[in-house]
Amino acid sequence: MNGVRVTPWHDTSLPSPPPELLAGMKARRPDGELIGIDRVLLKSFPLATGWNELLGRVRAAFDLALEYRELIMLRVAVLNGADFEWGVHYPAYLQAGGTEEKCRALKEPSGENDLFNEEERALIALTDQSTKRVEVDAAVIEELKRLFGQTQTVEAVATVSAYNMVSRFLVALAI
């Protein structure tokens, strides 16, 4: 974590986080080990608590397929130049069913590629519009509702929003 703009929390740092916060953060990680963003979040226990709860639900409790959520996360990482975010979500996307070819296509400026199915193209359109200009065309939302229904449309928008927050945090603090 060279170049990080704040000193990350370490196991010997004081004050110590509440044990339940630390346990919850470790439980969200595949190997139970804190990663760079976790250690920076632990500079503020209230932030780390809320962040862990929100991102834990986005990652594990939504009805929108994990492969689609990870696709959104990777596209946000590309658009915002969040290399750390890409590094975390790249293997998760592959494990959820994504492909190397789609990963390469997500890095293209337009994000458009025949590799993507109708649902993926709609999610990429949402991600690009929301990330680049915040406002999303009504037609994009209508297409998402047609493809996914209202609940998963809300979850797709929430995933884009949450991971824009993540990438902006990562980039601002050089994580």
Question: Per-residue pLDDT tens for 140-162?
Answer: 999 999 999 999 999 999 999 99
CATH code matching the domain that covers 66-172, chosen among 1.20.1290.10, 3.40.50.12780, 3.40.50.300, 3.40.1160.10:
1.20.1290.10
Taken in order 155, 125, 86, 12, the sign of the CA dihedral is negative
CA atoms of 12 and 71, how far apart (whole Å): 36
Mean pLDDT calculated for residue range 89-115: 95
Q: Which two tokens stand for residue 43?
A: 């500079």
pLDDT band at residue 72 using 50, 70 and 90 as cut-offs: very high
CA atoms of 21 and 50, how far apart (whole Å): 10
CA distances from 170 to 86, 88, 89, 103, 108 (A): 11, 12, 14, 20, 21
Mean pLDDT calculated for residue range 51-73: 97
In the chain, domain spans: 19-60, 66-172
Residue 25: the pLDDT is 96
Mean pLDDT calculated for residue range 89-117: 95
Task: Compute how many other C-beta atoms are within 10 angstroms of the C-beta atom of residue 155.
Answer: 22
Q: Which two tokens stand for residue 112?
A: 């458009």
Tens of pLDDT, residue by residue over 3-54, are: 999 999 998 999 999 999 999 999 999 899 999 999 999 999 999 999 999 9
CA atoms of 98 and 93, how far apart (whole Å): 5
| Token pair 């596209």: residue | 75
Whole-model pTM: value is 0.94
Residue 113: the pLDDT is 86
CA atoms of 157 and 56, how far apart (whole Å): 16
Residue 1: the pLDDT is 62
pLDDT band at residue 2 using 50, 70 and 90 as cut-offs: confident
Tens of pLDDT, residue by residue over 118-146, are: 999 999 999 999 999 999 999 999 999 99
Task: Compute how many other C-beta atoms are within 10 angstroms of the C-beta atom of residue 117.
Answer: 10
CA atoms of 44 and 59, how far apart (whole Å): 22
The angle that helices 66-80 and 83-96 make with each other, rounded to 10 degrees, is 160
